[in-house]
Amino acid sequence: MLTLDRIQALFAGHGNDYYGGEAISQTEHALQCAWQAEQAGEPEPLVVAALLHDIGHLMLAESSTTDMRHQEAGADALATLFGAEVTEPVRLHVAAKRYLCARDADYHAGLSPASQHSLALQGGPFDAQQAEAFAAGPHALAAVRLRRYDDLAKVVGLATPALPHYLAMAARCVRAAG
């Protein structure tokens, strides 16, 4: 079962690994993504989702799995702690990239080489029907905003608040048991 202590341990154990072909670590990417969301004035649950959107990568690193479904693994694990306001943008952040690529050629062209490569592995841009279905979902807009923060969170040396700042925010977002 995932706990806040376990999340902290995952960042301690695998957060220094490089983030998917980029020149920053997993932790730097997560902190930058959360910082982008916080700076934009997003509600705490979306800031927490931004921080934890790639937690599945950290979890899968422990099992040496290179499964490209990190969004599902992460969202499913986070569901033991958080409600849909956190888990669904995490679950949908890959779909949001596919959606944005289908709807905006400039967005697609602006993806980093590593993100373009992962897009191909994730199924490429949505077709028109897939894009419409995605956009109709209840958490689509939040997932698209998270995706845009994700894309901006690849800056070498960017100063952000440290992990405890965002873990305190996560603690405020933990769903009450029952």
Q: Any idea what the CATH number is for the domain that residue 78 is in? A: 1.10.3210.10
pLDDT over 90, % of the chain: 75
**Per-residue confidence at 175, pLDDT binned at 50, 70, 90?**
confident
Residue 87 falls within a domain, yes or no?
yes
Quick check: 149 pLDDT over 50?
yes
Q: Give CA separation, 114 vs 16, 22, 65, 91, in Å.
A: 18, 7, 19, 20
Distance CA 27, CA 14 (A): 8
pLDDT band at 101 (very low <50, low <70, confident <90, very high): very high
Q: Where is mean pLDDT largest: 70-84, 136-150, 163-177? A: 136-150
Strand partners, 18: 25
In a domain, 178, yes or no: no
Report pLDDT for 21. Answer: 72
**What pTM, to 2 d.p., does this model score?**
0.93
Closest CA to 83 of 164, 172, 11: 172
- What average pLDDT does the chain have? 92
Range(s) of the domain holding residue 138: 4-153+162-173
How many folded domains does the chain comprise?
1
